[in-house]
């Protein structure tokens, strides 16, 4: 691993506000991941999901692993001020509420789960977008 990159990962220097919002979103994902991995039944209960069988709980744990990986990408990209990733996240996250609404409308996921993801992604992308706009305002 490159020493300057590792140093920036430990102590981000020159991190933009928009990159900081991406990093914070990543930390939120990293906080959610162990809950899903270690306590899938409890998380399912909190989200008002149907009771998980053994196989469903294991698949839910796999989702927790994926959430953790995504969180790691967000944290590292934010700390390294990866502006391309920040921009890409502003293209991706606004789609989540529409996808969640469609999944709920087709009866594929419960409303509480759809609402949870729709709200968290909407709020976080609005925060990132607001910071991005302030950084890229013309004179």
pLDDT, tens digit (0-9, with 9 covering 90-100), for 71-116: 999 999 999 999 999 999 999 999 999 999 999 999 998 888 899 8
What share of the chain has pLDDT > 70, as a percent?
97
Residue 7 counted as domain residue? no
Q: C-alpha distances in angstroms, 52 versus 16, 65, 96, 113? A: 42, 17, 24, 15
Question: What's the pLDDT score for residue 35?
Answer: 96
Residue 90 counted as domain residue? yes
Residue range(s) defining the domain that contains residue 127: 17-133
Q: The tokens of 125 are what?
A: 């992308």
Residue 31 scores a pLDDT above 60: yes
Residue 9 counted as domain residue? no
Residue 10 counted as domain residue? no
pTM of the predicted model as reported, rounded to 2 decimal places: 0.86
DSSP code for 51: P
Residue 2 counted as domain residue? no
Number of domains in the chain: 1
Averaged pLDDT for residues 8-34: 90
Residue 91 counted as domain residue? yes
Question: What's the pLDDT score for residue 1?
Answer: 56
Residue 129 counted as domain residue? yes
Residue 66 scores a pLDDT above 90: yes
Question: What's the pLDDT score for residue 138?
Answer: 63
Q: The tokens of 106 are what?
A: 């087709």
Residue 5 counted as domain residue? no
Q: Which residue would you say has higher pLDDT here, 138 or 56?
A: 56
């Amino acid at each position: 691993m490159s020493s300057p990159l590792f140093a920036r990962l430990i102590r981000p220097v020159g991190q933009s506000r928009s990159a900081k919002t991406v990093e914070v979103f990543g930390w939120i994902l990293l906080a959610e991941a162990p809950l899903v991995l270690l306590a899938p039944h409890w998380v399912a209960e909190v989200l008002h999901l149907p009771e998980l069988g053994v196989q469903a709980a294991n698949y839910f744990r796999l989702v927790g692993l994926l959430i953790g990986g995504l969180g790691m990408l967000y944290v590292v990209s934010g700390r390294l001020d990866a502006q391309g990733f920040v921009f890409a996240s502003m293209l991706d996250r606004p789609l989540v509420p529409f996808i969640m609404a469609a999944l709920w409308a087709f009866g594929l996921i419960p409303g509480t789960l759809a609402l949870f993801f729709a709200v968290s992604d909407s709020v976080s992308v609005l925060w990132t977008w607001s910071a991005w706009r302030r950084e890229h305002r013309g004179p």
